[in-house]
Amino acid sequence: MRKRVLVLGGNFGGLTAALSVKHELQGDVDVRVIAASDRFLFNPSLIWLPFGKRRPQDITFPLAPTLTEHDVDFVHASATRIDAAAKRVTAAGVEYDYDYLVIATGYRNAMGAVPGLADTDGAYTITTLEDAIHAGEGWRRFLQNPGPVIVGASQGAGCFGAAYEFLFNMSYQLRRFGLKKHVPLTYVTAEPFLGHFGIGGLPGGERLLGMFLRKEGITAVTEVAMEEVVEGKLAVSGREPLDFAYAVIIPPFEGQDVVRGVPGLADEKGFVPVRDTYQSAAYPDVYAVGVAAAVSVPWTTAVPVGVPKTGFPTEVQAHVAAENIASQIRGKEPGRHKAFGEIPAVCVMDAGNNGVMILADRMLPPRKAGVLIPGPQSHGAKLLFEKYFLWKARHGYVRLP
């Protein structure tokens, strides 16, 4: 009997895992994707959407045609229950059995980490498509009545790259609209120092980011917790409240309730502790990749910071999981190992018309090599990567780099 692989989630991790399993077994497996969204979203481009540089249709595409072309069944529904003992998932009232399960359910914003962030006028985030659209509406109102701007990442956040990118794109847009000299711009972060990025920093990173901020006239407030957002004010630990007319804050992420509800599967944040094969520590027939997988960090900081679980490591995890599922289906032990911290760090950080390329041999210390390369070529590289990745994903060419 053909084995059944069920994948929850259809974005970076889910799409890659589903198609990679199919390819690994040369089609001799039944693969089904269940996803709450029927569209793939290229999250890295959300930084541009509030400024009108991208539209939703520019950075999304429908999942069903891609999956169908590769003989993968697609169910557009939210999973409501995982029965790991019975190997069954319920979605939209229908039960789906599996032999192997891949959890690639991504994240939810933990908005409660910063009281008031979810419902205060003028305060936004950009970590989902809906959030970025909402932030764009606020940006257009801001242009009619400008004032101080805050961009930041809260305690527990891990997506610092998005915060920096939005910060420098904001600076670029303020200059474009003739507001640069009149609007104070402040970066507020839980990082212990500029350029920590949630990965412990890289050689020269603090100096380079400091130079960027000084050049752009941006004030930095580091190593603070955000205590509350009220209209026009951000309260932070150990300082007077900061004024804003427009604020974009990256909150921490948490896992999905359907994952958190499985006994022994997830940690307190709803993420799945995994081995370096990306098998669940509790259930060897369940895998987790991307943001859904729990990551431990080799340090502690005065103000908690998370780890960036971005697209590149997510793809690597999904390929590792797919190879190991294929091995199990062939009757072998999972043989591919790649701990999160050992995955190379590859990131292109956009800054409007400039940017920084971040390269390191490992995501987390100890490292042998790491470098930040500034320059306008990084902006061009991000534009090219966006087009390339959307083309690759839309056609299901997940074996390409």
- Kindly report, residue by residue over 112-169, the tens digit of the pLDDT: 999 999 999 999 999 999 999 999 999 999 999 999 999 999 999 999 999 999 999 9
Are 142 and 240 within one domain?
yes
The residue assigned the tokens 């590859």 is: 346
> What does the DSSP 8-state code read for residue 292?
G
Are 52 and 151 within one domain?
no
User: Do you know the residue count of the chain?
Assistant: 401
Are 281 and 225 within one domain?
no
- The CB density around residue 94, as the number of other CB atoms within 10 Å, is 10
Taking the C-alpha atoms of residue 124 and residue 251, their distance in angstroms, rounded to an integer, is: 10
> What does the DSSP 8-state code read for residue 274?
B
Q: Where are the alpha helices (DSSP H) in 217-266?
A: 257-260
Taking the C-alpha atoms of residue 43 and residue 55, their distance in angstroms, rounded to an integer, is: 12
Percent of the chain at pLDDT exceeding 70 = 100
115 is catalytic: no
Which residues make Cβ contacts (< 8 Å) with residue 76, sequence separation at least 6?
35, 36, 37, 38, 63, 64
Are 157 and 280 within one domain?
no
Taking the C-alpha atoms of residue 339 and residue 351, their distance in angstroms, rounded to an integer, is: 31
159 is catalytic: yes
Boundary-marking domain end, from 252, 267, 287: 252
Residue 1 has pLDDT above 90, yes or no: no
Answer yes or no: are the C-beta atoms of 342 and 316 closer than 8 Å.
no
- pLDDT tens digits, 373-389: 999 999 999 999 999 99
Token reading at 367:
């490292």
For the chain, the average pLDDT equals 97
* Tally of domains within the chain: 2
Q: Which residue is catalytic, options 347, 349, 372, 393?
A: 347
Residue 376 lies in a domain: no
Token reading at 29:
């497996």
- pLDDT tens digits, 173-231: 999 999 999 999 999 999 999 999 999 999 999 999 999 999 999 999 999 999 999 99
CATH number of the domain residue 181 falls in: 3.50.50.60
Three-point CA angle 209, 389, 14, nearest 5°:
100
Q: Which range of residues forms the domain containing residue 236?
A: 111-252
Are 30 and 97 within one domain?
yes
Are 222 and 259 within one domain?
no
Boundary-marking domain end, from 218, 252, 286: 252
Mean pLDDT of 381-399: 97
| Helix orientation angle between 12-24 and 311-329, rounded to the nearest 10 degrees | 30
- pLDDT tens digits, 3-37: 999 999 999 999 999 999 999 999 999 999 999 99
Q: Which residue is catalytic, options 91, 159, 225, 250?
A: 159
Boundary-marking domain end, from 198, 218, 252: 252
pLDDT of residue 298: 81
Answer yes or no: are the C-beta atoms of 218 and 357 closer than 8 Å.
no
Are 117 and 247 within one domain?
yes
